[in-house]
Amino acid sequence: MGPRRDPRGAAGGGVTESQPADRAADVKGSDGRTLEPWEVFRQEKDGDPMRHGGSVMAPDATLALHYAREMYSRRQESVHLWVVRRADIHDLADLDLLQPPLDRSFKKPGGYVMRDKLAAAREQSGQAKPKANAGER
Amino acid sequence: MTDGRARPDPPMAMDFEGAGDGRTNALALLLLSMADDEFVIGFSDSEWTGIGPILEEDVAISSIAQDELGHARALYTLLSELVADGRDADAIAYDRPPEGYLHARLLDHPRGDWAATIVRRYLYDTADAARLDALVDSSYRPLAELVAKIRREERYHLMHMETWLDRLATSPGEPRERLLAALADMAPDAGTVLAPLPGEQALVRHGIIGEPFEAIEARWRKGVGRTFQRLGLPDLAATRDPGRARADHGDAFRALHAEFTMVRRSEVGATW
């Protein structure tokens, strides 16, 4: 176990750096003495993705890993753990940016949803719904 | 849990003499001393449950304490199978008077403050690790197999204690002062964990233990010495009165014993 730091903001973390209120401004940078939240990611078995498990409070990465082990793998629930200082996570939760109001479903590889149009066409022609592959799109 | 037959006159720890040949007696003493070490420190550290410095550490120290009780249980079970005198692991663990326990004097020091708990655990865990190292290839297979499992858990205990020792030693002011005070108090008893056992020549001769305790202790002192030097801590004192390393348990242990036998004594012979 040991610190394992990736370069900051490597993957487009720069959109907004605002922190929710509960991540109070007292996390200036780890001094190894102040308790702060660490997010824990765990892999359940080899080949699975790392999934967010929860968080622990700890003053540094070493104790964060120890506590993560106690909370998320003391009964062999994990084969791999990551801890990430919550303050090092760049956050984006702006619905205008993440959930644009206009319908852009044509951008999805499946195209427009066809189910309703197909159903109407079938009704018009008096055809029954095909058994297999019940026309979704 | 057990049929727990009433034993109005609990047998003493040392009564394994007569259980068999020299090898069996010495092995029984080794198992009992290791089991009592784990049992006493496990119970004592479990006193932090619910009052740990932070919730995460409360869970961590409690789980480490539980691990030790698990190790004690496994060792008492080995002992009960070896001696086969009708006592099970629970009877050996709980039905002895305080003077019948064979744990090292280091563990007679009470839990104390957080620094004292860390110092006691660090000294014990490092000494225990050195002892386990000498048992991995034991000719007594049930012990070698158990030690292999125990060592995997003790590795994390050691990492955790080293982390805390480091934190306290490198935090000037109160943390370091409390650490130094606890060390001054306990250092002369630290070596009691590895003090020679009666009959250990038989253990070495039969390949039950890889080397005599004197050699194990020397190896342990070297390792701890390196850590202490790095952290600027004073050298570990020589062992005080090594001949009585596992005897003369004082009032702190009597109080602890009264507590951990309380429920068992409340209904002698009950089936739990």
Q: Provide mean pLDDT across the span B52-80.
A: 95
Location of structure tokens 């753990």: A81
B207 Rama class: left (phi>0) / alpha (psi -120 to 50) / beta = left
Residues 7-36 of A with CB under 8 A from B: 33, 35
Per the DSSP assignment, residues forming a β-bridge with A51 are A42
Domain ranges of chain B: 13-264
Residue A133 has pLDDT above 60, yes or no: no
Query: What would the two tokens of residue A22 be?
Result: 């509960």
Contact residues, chain B, for A56 at CB < 8 Å: 56
The verdict on a CB contact (< 8 Å) between B56 and A33 is no
Minimum Cα–Cα distance from B61: chain A residue: A70
Distance of alpha carbon B112 from alpha carbon B9, whole angstroms: 33
Contact residues, chain B, for A66 at CB < 8 Å: 60, 156, 159-160, 163
Q: Provide mean pLDDT across the span A109-124.
A: 78
Mean pLDDT of chain A: 76
Sign, CA dihedral A18-A20-A21-A27, equals: negative
Sign, CA dihedral B18-B20-B25-B28, equals: negative
pLDDT band at B38 (very low <50, low <70, confident <90, very high): very high
- Which range among A4-8, A88-92, B23-27, B51-55 shows the weakest confidence by mean pLDDT? A4-8
Give how far B188 is from chain A: nearest CA, Å.
Answer: 30
The verdict on a CB contact (< 8 Å) between A66 and B160 is yes
Other Cβ atoms closer than 10 A to A63: 24
The verdict on a CB contact (< 8 Å) between B56 and A74 is no
Distance of CA B203 to the CA centre of its chain: 19
- Which range among A118-127, B101-110, B256-265 shows the weakest confidence by mean pLDDT? A118-127
Q: Provide mean pLDDT across the span A115-128.
A: 84
Go through the domains of chain A in sequence order and give each one's CATH number. 21-88 (3.10.20.520)
Q: Residue B201's pLDDT is what? A: 93
Distance of alpha carbon A26 from alpha carbon A36, whole angstroms: 9
Could you report the predicted ipTM of this complex, rounded to two decimals? 0.80
The verdict on a CB contact (< 8 Å) between B63 and A62 is no
Q: Which of B56, B152, B174 to mutate to test the interface with A (most CBs of A within 10 A)?
A: B56
Residue in A33, A35, A66 nearest the CB of B60: A66
Query: Which CATH number is B13-264 given?
Result: 1.20.1260.10
Give how far A48 is from chain B: nearest CA, Å.
Answer: 25
Residue B147 has pLDDT above 60, yes or no: yes
Q: Residue A99's pLDDT is what? A: 84
Residue B12 has pLDDT above 60, yes or no: no
What is the H or E stretch that residue B263 is in?
helix B262-266
pLDDT band at B20 (very low <50, low <70, confident <90, very high): low
Minimum Cα–Cα distance from A66: chain B residue: B160
Residue B4 has pLDDT above 60, yes or no: no
Closest CA to B214 of B226, B227, B206, B203: B203
Q: CA-CA distances (angstroms) from residue A51 to A54, B168, B185?
A: 9, 34, 46
Q: Residue B3's pLDDT is what? A: 42
Q: Provide mean pLDDT across the span B114-137.
A: 98
Cβ atoms of A88 and A3 within 8 Å: the answer is: no
Q: Give, as one character, the DSSP assignment of residue B17.
A: T
Q: Provide mean pLDDT across the span B211-230.
A: 97
What is the H or E stretch that residue A4 is in?
none
Distance of alpha carbon B98 from alpha carbon B249, whole angstroms: 7
A113 touches chain B (CB under 8 A): no
Q: Provide mean pLDDT across the span B27-53.
A: 96
Q: CA-CA distances (angstroms) from residue A104 to A114, B105, B190, B235?
A: 15, 75, 71, 72
Residue of B133 and A120 predicted with greater confidence: B133
Q: Provide mean pLDDT across the span A105-134.
A: 73
Cβ atoms of B14 and B96 within 8 Å: the answer is: no
The verdict on a CB contact (< 8 Å) between A70 and B59 is yes
A73 touches chain B (CB under 8 A): no
A56 touches chain B (CB under 8 A): yes
Give how far B56 is from chain A: nearest CA, Å.
Answer: 6
The three-state secondary structure class of B155 is helix
Contacts 24+ apart (CB under 8 A), B165-173: B165/B118, B165/B119, B165/B122, B165/B227, B165/B231, B166/B231, B167/A59, B168/B115, B168/B118, B169/B231, B169/B232, B169/B233, B170/B231, B171/A33
Cβ atoms of B194 and B124 within 8 Å: the answer is: no
**pLDDT above 70: percentage of residues in chain B:** 93
Per-residue pLDDT tens over the stretch A88-108: 999 999 988 888 777 777 777
How far from each other are the two terminal CA atoms of chain A, in whole angstroms?
49
Residue A3 has pLDDT above 60, yes or no: no
Give how far A52 is from chain B: nearest CA, Å.
Answer: 18
Size of the A and B interface in Cβ pairs below 8 Å: 29
Residue A10 has pLDDT above 60, yes or no: no
Q: Provide mean pLDDT across the span A5-9.
A: 37
Cβ atoms of B76 and B1 within 8 Å: the answer is: no
Per-residue pLDDT tens over the stretch A29-52: 567 788 999 999 999 999 999 999
What is this structure's pTM?
A: 0.79
Cβ atoms of A71 and B59 within 8 Å: the answer is: yes
A62 touches chain B (CB under 8 A): yes
Contact residues, chain B, for A73 at CB < 8 Å: none
